Structure 1
Amino acid sequence: MSTQPSLDSVIEPLQQTLQTQRDAFLREGEVALETRVDRLNRCIAMLVDHQKEICAAVDEDFGGRSRHVTLMTDIFTSVGSLKFVRKNLKKWIKGEKRKVPVPMNLFGAKARVHYQPKGVIGIMTPWNVPVNMIFSPLADAIGAGNRVMIKPSEFTPKTAELMQRLFREYFEDSEICIVTGGAEVGAAFSSLRFDHLIFTGATSIGKLVMKAAAENLTPVTLELGGKSPVIVSDSGNIEEYAEKIIAGKGMNAGQLCISPDYCFVPASRLEAFITACKNTINELYPTINDNPDFVSVINERHFDRVKGYIDEAREAGARVEALNPANEDWSDRSRHRIPLHLIVDPADDLTCMQDEIFGPILNIKPYRTVDECLNFINQRPRPLAMYYFGTDKIEREHVLANSIAGGVTVNDIAMHVSCDDLPFGGVGNSGIGNYRGFEGFRTFSHAKAVYQQGFVNLAKLAGTLPPYSEKVDNMMAQQIKK
């Protein structure tokens, strides 16, 4: 007999929580600035006061993740986003003045945009940066005045359980609630009648989330992934570029949606680049297996997936460079640690060039002209992130003007995401919509148009009410012209 829970048993408590939050939202009425700031402050206090517990939980989920990595990528970034919203919120909630057309503006008419919270926001988060992917959109959602339900990934259960306990210490369930469970809970969660739903994760799952949300016409923000390219120019310091690229790729063992996936290198400088990559690894990660700074692949399933890319490339005759300074044996899948590998000039039909890597592999593509790189990138789905390294300003502007990506960092990796005043989001397969900072505040707010009529009845004065006369014809003739 199947032990799979029924859909009703899964969805009923979720619907009850949603209704509890919606009722509380309606009772509260206008959400005061002080209330929003208080919720932001409680989030900051939670992260600061429990950072050791958080680092330990994430480390246990990964089977090996440096606390420094969690401090940098999860806690520091989350606190920064929360503080940025807190600092700017008073300005954002004032709304915006808009222009009133002539002649209404001459008689006292006014127009403005009033930003008000949508209600209850659903947040679905991935496993790779399990804390920041909760708090980054949460900062925008509660800054906008909403109640929030959060479904973390089931692949980081210890972190999810800790987050559930901490949120219950700092918040009522009617304010913010963590929902745990497997794929069946995620499916039920995405089918709820939220006022807005944001999902971060794989493109394949994002399609299912959007399909479920469409049944309720729930607006969605999808933060997906894809194959983020790097173009290394023939201008500048190749050793410096390799150092930054490898450091960026090594962060979280490449398990970031904005991690470099394939890298274009001038054919004439290919060997110098590979040598510089090896030198960088020697400095950053001289050992792999027992190195506390080196992050494990999340689980055995993903270990097998990433190893499969490497094995397939070797079998196909591609050049594979293992950046494994101590030449360690990493075959023990129970530890799921894989040294960074370079796959040099892989064929386009190899799986490593088809799938998003999301692991410690960097594909290297030699090139002769920058337009070759742009043609290759533009023939594929739009990437979430793109990177350009070089000192040639004309070439840089050419690359930026002739490519489309969710975001770009020039001469570094992933730094555009560290800037809270820049929107974060993808294009097409890499995502729909964006958040972070003011763009996030707007994403989770309803922009209500408010028009206030002036002190003159212009419709009557202009003769635009029936019965119509020649006066209307003359006025229309004056306005409808080139």
Structure 2
Amino acid sequence: MAEHGALSVARRDDALEGLAAALIRHADDFARAVAQDFGHRSTHETKLADLYPVVAGLRHARKHFRRWMKPRRRPIRMMFQIASGRIHYQPLGIVGIISPWNYPVQLALSPLAGALAAGNRIMIKPSELTPHTSALLARVLGEVFDESEAAVVEGGADVARSFARLPFDHLFFTGSTAVGRDVMKAASENLVPVTLELGGKSPAIVAPDYPLPEAAERIAVGKLFNAGQTCIAPDYVLVAREHEAAFVRAFRDAAGRLYPTLAANPDYTAIISERHRERLRGLVADAEAKGAVLHAINPAGERLDPAAGKLEPVVLTGMSADAAVLQEEIFGPVLPVVSYGTLEEAIGFVNDRPHPLALYLFSRDRGLVKRVLDRTSSGGVAVNETLLHCVQEELPFGGVGASGMGSYHGEAGFRTFSHARSVFRRGRVNGAGMTKPPYGRRVERMLSFLLR
């Protein structure tokens, strides 16, 4: 791929729109492929979360990338005048993308939009847990791109490990923090720069002033979308101690309205594999063994067929601090609720843990909101809402600390996949000659002026 060089501006334009059109053309095919990989995946969730953000991102990039790539003027210090300074944005070269299973289209192609807008060539290694979607991705990209421009590499974990060790010009990984460490270590062998989009335990803080039914419904939407298999899903809720029982009731009511049935409900998604279901059951069992109270949500009282892959939503209260459900990222329809006495306690609870990928805060008190924003750190924040900050192309998306490094979406993605090249151009007359040897009184006077 490297010998072909950067993609031309005209080719970027054609490819960005061509891929958007191909995704729309194959929307139903993708919905079927993702559902086949999950056992059951809501068609609407696939189109809302896997296809729409990518199509919007591709078209946003197409509309703006010419402006993003224009050289930017930078001021030059007085003593070096007459001269000019500019930053030119160049494609890095070949970008590798390792994408996960939970949003197998979005998380493969959203970073591709930024890499493509910047003029790079791209290789994608999708998750082995979504083979039908991966095969379709390969076919659809083959309709739009020559293999030297963008290619999909299918295969298992051994292929992913080899992929991470390739000498890319940039490696982009979305997945767990544990695997992210391994990817970064592999990339370091070739000094490949990395962007890591990881996860962690994203809290939702419900302040005492905010109406509980509203907060509960918005948290339920964010938590149960894709059955909780979302890296920015609310992982746990912090609620005032006197409101804990009322919040649990409000959450159960909201979940019941969103999903009045579970077993045959086309809107309620299955858990990706039996291994992941067993892990979730283990988290719940561990919490109960350590004193937690379980509040199951099954409005129709159905028996869920284990072979169908769905798990009923569960709220947990009264957990021991050492319960695994408060230590590990959950990635499923299990919601721990932790009560606090004061807002300071809630802030302290968040700050005692690694920086999360997202933080959700429900309050109409601007002073309180500022206080929480000033005192906490997270990849992104949504106030009085969940999830929606990640589909705003004008807002960078990325983590901090254990939840990742680097960002993308919109212009941030273009910058991530570009080299900002400094260009200094000296004019015919220039004061820099005053700094060359032989040094003497002239330079002494100049330094006395500069360092005064």
Calculate the TM-score normalised by the size of structure 2: 0.98
- Consecutive unaligned residues of structure 1, counting only runs of 5 or more, are 1-20
Q: Can you list the C-alpha shifts for 1:297-336, whole angstroms capped at 9, x where unaligned?
A: 0011101111111122222221110111112223x43222
More displaced stretch, 307-316 vs 361-370:
307-316
Equivalent position of 1:458 in the other structure = 431
| Among 446, 449, 452, the residue aligned to 1:475 | 446
- Whether the aligned pair in 1 keeps the contact of 2:80 and 2:430 (CA below 8 Å) is no
Q: Which residue of 2 aligns with 1:114?
A: 88
User: Partner of 2:262 in structure 1?
Assistant: 288
CA distance in 1, matches of 2:17, 2:318: 49
Task: Verify the 8 A CA contact 1:104 1:454 in the aligned structure 2.
Answer: no
Q: Report whether the alignment pairs 1:372 with 2:345.
A: yes
Deviations 1:12-43 (A, max 9, x none): xxxxxxxxx11112xxx5x4322211110111
RMSD of aligned residue pairs (Cα, Å): 1.0
1:101 maps to 77
Counterpart of 2:2 in structure 1 is 22
The 8 Å contact of residues 117 and 145 in structure 1, kept in 2 or not, is answered as yes
Partner residue of 1:248? Answer: 222
Aligned mates of 1:201, 1:345 — CA distance in 2 = 30
Q: Which residue matches 1:15?
A: none
Aligned length: 452
* Equivalent runs, 1:67-466 vs 2, <5 Å: 67-105=43-81, 107=82, 109-330=83-304, 332-460=305-433, 462=434, 464-466=435-437
After superposition, where does 1:20-59 map in structure 2 within 5 Å?
21-25=1-5, 31-59=7-35
Q: Distance in 1 between matches of 2:210 and 2:140?
A: 48
The separation in 1 between residues aligned to 2:107 and 2:348, in whole angstroms, is 33
Work out the percentage of aligned pairs sharing the same amino acid.
44
- Which amino acid counterpart does residue 81 of structure 1 have in structure 2? G
- Select between 121-130 and 418-427 the one with higher mean Cα deviation: 418-427
1:428 to partner: Cα distance: 1.2
Deviations along 1:73-93, whole A, 9 cap, x unmatched? 001111011111111111101
C-alpha separation in 2, matches of 1:430 and 1:459: 45
Q: CA deviation at 1:103?
A: 3.1
2:289 and 2:307 map into 1 onto residues whose CA distance is 24
Aligned partners of 1:391 and 1:97: how far apart in 2?
41
CA distance in 2, matches of 1:125, 1:477: 57
Cα distance in 2, alignment partners of residues 366 and 327 from structure 1: 28
SS in 2 for 1:408: strand
Question: Take 1:317 and 1:328, find their aligned partners in 2: how far apart are those partners?
Answer: 26
Q: For residues 238-264 of structure 1, what are the alpha-carbon distances to aligned partners after superposition, in whole Å with 9 as ceiling and x for unaligned? A: 101101000110100000000011100
CA distance in 2, matches of 1:95, 1:397: 36
- Partners of 1:313 and 1:465 in 2: how far apart? 71
Alpha-carbon distance change, 162 to 300 in structure 1, aligned in 2, over 3 angstroms: same
Tell me, yes or no, if the aligned pair for 2:378 and 2:400 is still in contact at 8 Å: yes
**TM-score of the pair, normalised by structure 1:** 0.92
Alpha-carbon shift at residue 457 of structure 1 (Å): 4.0
Secondary structure of 1:472 counterpart? helix
Instruction: Report the Cα offset of residue 372 of structure 1.
Output: 0.4
Residue deviations 1:29-86 (CA, integer Å, cap 9, x gap)? 5x43222111101110110110010000000000011110000000111101111111
Amino acid at match of 1:473: E
2:126 maps to a residue whose letter is P
Q: For structure 2, which runs of at least 5 residues remain unmatched after alignment?
A: none
Cα distance between partner residues in 2 of 1:429 and 1:271: 32
Contact 2:79 2:432 in 1 (8 A): no
